[in-house]
Each structure stands twice: as C-alpha cells, then as structure tokens.
Amino acid sequence: MTAAYDDRDGKIWMDGKLVDWRAANVHILSHALHYASSVFEGERCYSGKIFKSHEHSLRLIESARLLDMTSPYSAEEIDAAKDQVLAANGFTDAYVRAVMWRGSGQDMGVSARRNPVHLAIAAWEWGSYYGDAKWQGAKLDVAKWKRPSPETIPTAAKAAGLYMICTMSKHAAEEKGCSDALFMDWEGYVAEATGANIFFVKDGEVHTPQADRFLNGITRQTVIQMLRDKGITVHERRIKPEELSGFTECWLTGTAAEVTPVAEIGDWRFTVGDLTRGIAEDYEKLVRS
C-alpha cells in the first residue's frame, strides 16, 4: 500500500530551503485553508528534465496574480527550486507539484493583504493517472456540476478553489466505475474533464472546446500544435453535447493524464483509433526527446 502523502521520506522545497518531507507543514489558520487563496502547478519530469518547466512557472505566477497574490519568486527562481527538489530526492522521472498560497498573518478574514504568500514544491514518482485506461480507453461519467462563468471566478487561473466540483464529480464517477467525469459549461456546451482537456475526431479532423472559459492546458496547447504540424485540421469551438454521437475518437490531455484515449462518455462510445494512438505516441516521444 502506498504511504500517505504526509508520511514519506524525502525533501520538499519550502520558502527558499529544502526541509524534511514530514516537516513541511503550515499553520491551521493559513488563509488558503479557509478561503481557497491557493494556486498550483502539476508538472512531469522525464529522464531528468521537466517538460515545459518554465511555461509552468510562468503560469503559476500568472495564476497568483489573477487571485490578487504577488509571487515572492521569479519564474527562473521557481525553475531552479524544482530542479533542487528533483536532485535532493534522486528523481529522474517524477511528478512535480508547485503550490503557492496565502499563509497565516495579521489578517484572518476575507481580506488578507497583510498575510505573506508562500511557495512550496514537492515531487514524487507517479505512473499513469488513469491506470489501464491509458491504453484501453477511459470511461467517463457526465458530471452534474457545470464549469462556472468567467464572470464568477478567474477561470484562467489554476486555482485550488476551482477544483472542489472536480473532486465531487470524480468521486461520483468512481462510484459508477468510471475513471473521470466530463463537465459541461454553464451554457451547456462541452467543457473539459475534472483535470484534463478533451479532444474529439470526426472525418479525420479534430474538434476541441474553445478554452476561453476553463484552463487552457499546457498539454492541450502542445497537442494542438503537434496536430497542426502534422497537417491535421483542429477546430477550437463550442461543442454541443448532442454532437458527441457523431465523433469517432476521443482523448484527454493534461500533465497528469498525458494523452489518454476515451472509450465511453455516458451513453456515447468511441474507438481508440489510429489518430488517437498516433498523437499519444508522438507526445510520448516529444516529452522524452
């Protein structure tokens, strides 16, 4: 059985120094715990190199800015800290988690301008996010919750608070024997899974929801460029749920998900076809190049 995440050996980078894994703690009155003032990044290291590390560091800083927090570190300093963590733990293939949050301070209410902003970075060995679905095709539920309007929260931020409906939806999906759940947005269009963007195939062309109302994933952007470089047409647009019956293939993208085929979404069925397998193989080659 895998050890609990708070009970492991190793080092975590925290506010400028490496600390013992079990000592990487925060106070119970940290603002983030009460008011969700926290942003994070999930990254993967392949053969000793974090894929698009600097892009992730820049997005972390931007996510903090969108939540009215100022990063205490530059992107270059964050890049270096991630490398320190990997070296200290002896990892060459690992998942890397950077998290920035408002801690405890002089304020303990909605307003927290006087509270310091902290940064921590951890890494651990982590295989396929969806297990066997990585090759066989994931089975998705359709979430009862919807992605919120950008007028309600900064949806371009990778913010902890945006993931609560993801946790509830994934729990509900797992109870039905599914790997994940598909969200619609507040207008009823197809949006994304709980922690991954989604793509569909029809007549040799690729369709994916327009990422102006949910996080435009770094893996998503990478895969779109890879497809276009291969001469494959990619449509970024609004997709209605009733269109899903006309798509033949489907896959998910994300740092954790990488490129994962989808076999089922509710009553809709898809094949793990050549285009899906091809882009998954090409992505695997890219991240290890």
152 and 209 inside one domain: yes
Cβ atoms of 207 and 237 within 8 Å: the answer is: yes
Instruction: Measure the CA–CA gap between 55 and 28, rounded to whole angstroms.
Output: 31
267 and 141 inside one domain: yes
150 and 281 inside one domain: yes
Q: How many domains does the chain have?
A: 2
120 and 142 inside one domain: no
104 and 216 inside one domain: no
Asked whether residue 78 is domain-assigned, the answer is: yes
Asked whether residue 5 is domain-assigned, the answer is: no
CATH classification of the domain holding 43: 3.30.470.10
So what's the pLDDT on residue 132? 64
Asked whether residue 4 is domain-assigned, the answer is: no
The domain of 223 spans: 133-287
Tens-place pLDDT, residues 25-65: 999 999 999 999 999 999 999 999 999 999 999 999 999 99
Q: How many of the other CB atoms lie within 10 Å of CB of 95?
A: 18
pTM of the model: 0.95
Asked whether residue 2 is domain-assigned, the answer is: no
Cβ atoms of 264 and 137 within 8 Å: the answer is: yes
Instruction: Measure the CA–CA gap between 284 and 258, rounded to whole angstroms.
Output: 8
CATH classification of the domain holding 193: 3.20.10.10
Domain endpoint, select from 124, 157, 186: 124
275 and 139 inside one domain: yes
Question: Catalytic site residues?
Answer: 158
Instruction: Measure the CA–CA gap between 204 and 236, rounded to whole angstroms.
Output: 15
98 and 52 inside one domain: yes
Tens-place pLDDT, residues 174-210: 999 999 999 999 999 999 999 999 999 999 999 999 9
118 and 137 inside one domain: no
Cβ atoms of 107 and 31 within 8 Å: the answer is: yes
Crossing angle of helices 53-66 and 75-89, in 10° steps, is 120
52 and 154 inside one domain: no
- What confidence category does residue 133 fall into, taking pLDDT thresholds of 50, 70 and 90? low
